[in-house]
Structure 1
Amino acid sequence: MVSEASATDARQVRTRAKLLRAMLTLLEQGPFDGITVRALATEAGIGYATFFRHYPSKEALLDDLAAGEIAGLLGEAMPLFSAENTGRACVALFEFISRRKALWRALLTGGAAPLLREQFVGQARRLAARFATPDTATCPIDLRFTFATSATIEIIGWWLRQPEELPKETIAGILDRLVITPTVAER
């Protein structure tokens, strides 16, 4: 027999998943600023008031969507990162984004870029804190991570806006040369 609490939890998980999918669908159709809570509820197949049981605002829903994507991206790329071979992590990053291109294009070009940037930089700063050591470098690690993350977002956005797609390996090499290698060399 399923307990009432686990049935409620399962229902909450399903509703949140529907809302995340609805946000993605609507971002692919138009800019974030044009999305309403009513449209999200309709797209998700839930009641308007139900939306607010899960999220206080559409921005909170977008934040949840972005956080999940960025965690997935970092989770896939960071284990491959090493100072000796930064290129592998860069290729993994663009492979991840390539598999979710519609979502990342919507996040970066549909009016959600500032929130995505904030979420990405926040996660990168938390990651930097794990690597923090008494640093004698001329540039603090927190600033290096913030700069590298912001530049990475700009390069991803540029790549996604190109009419003809550059190969993942090419754009990964550009990211590595312009951002990652100089950032790592600062250590």
Structure 2
Amino acid sequence: MVSDTSATDARQVRTRAKLLRAMLALLEREPFESITVRALASEAGVGYATFFRHYPDKEALLDDLAADEIAGLLGAAMPLFSAENTGRACVALFEFVSRRQALWRALLTGGAAPRLREQFVGQARKLAARSETKTAAICPIDLRVTYATSATIEIIGWWLRQPEALPIETIAGILDRLVITPTVAER
């Protein structure tokens, strides 16, 4: 027999997933600033009041979406990251973004970019804190992470705005040379 709590939890998970998909769909059609809670609820097929049982506002839903997306991106790139071969991690990062170009374009070109950056920096800082070595570096780890993640977001955004996309290997090489290798050398 299924308890009422597990049925409620399953329903909450399904509703959250519907709202996240609705945000994705709307972001692909219009800028974040134009999206309303009513439009999100309608797109998700849930009641207006139901939205507020899950999120206090559309910004919180966007934060949730960005957090999931950043976790996926870091999950794809970080296992490949090593000081000896930063290029592999850069390629993995751009392959991940390439498979989800419409979403990343929507996240980076509308009003969502600052929130995405904040999520990216926050998650990268947590990862860096776990793997930080106690060697004396010229530049603090927090600054290196902030710089590297901010520059990475800018390069991804630039790449997605190009009328003719650069090949993944080319843009990954640019990121590696401009940002990652110099940042890692600082360890």
The TM-score bracket by the shorter chain reads over 0.9
Alignment of 1:97-176 (within 5 A): 97-176=97-176
> Using the alignment, how far apart are the partners of 1:132 and 1:79 within structure 2?
15
User: Equivalent residue of 1:88, what SS?
Assistant: helix
Q: Does 1:72 align with 2:72?
A: yes
The answer on 1:82 being equivalent to 2:82 is yes
Distance apart, 1:132 and its partner CA: 2.8
* 1:17-56 matches, cutoff 5 A: 17-56=17-56
Matching of residue 4 in structure 1 with residue 12 in structure 2: no
Whichever residue aligns with residue 160 of structure 2, its letter is: L
Distance in structure 1 (CA, Å) of the matches to 2:41 and 2:76: 31
Deviations 1:38-81 (A, max 9, x none): 11001000000000000011000000000000001101100000
TM-score (ref. length: structure 2) = 0.98
Higher deviation after alignment, 34-43 or 125-134: 125-134
Deviation at 1:160, TM superposition (A): 0.4
Paired residue total: 187
Q: CA deviation at 1:2?
A: 1.9
User: Aligned equivalents of 2:164 and 2:76: distance in 1?
Assistant: 26
TM-score (norm 1): 0.98
Q: CA deviation at 1:107?
A: 0.3
Report deviation, 1:6.
1.1
Q: What is the aligned-residue RMSD (CA, Å)?
A: 0.8
CA distance in 1, matches of 2:38, 2:88: 43
C-alpha distance in 2 between matches for 1:98 and 1:7: 37
Cα distance in 2 for partners of 1:163, 1:98 equals: 15
Q: Per-residue CA shift, 1:66-107, capped at 9, x if unaligned?
A: 000000110110000010000000000000011111110000
Counterpart of 2:152, as a letter, is T
- Which residues of 2 match residues 169-184 of structure 1 at below 5 A? 169-184=169-184
Which residue of 2 is the match for residue 63 of structure 1? 63
> 1:13 and 1:131 mapped to 2: Cα distance?
32
| 1:88-145 CA-partner distances (Å, limit 9, x unpaired) | 0000000001111111000001210000000001111111211233341110111101
Structure 1: stretches of 5+ with no match in the other structure: none
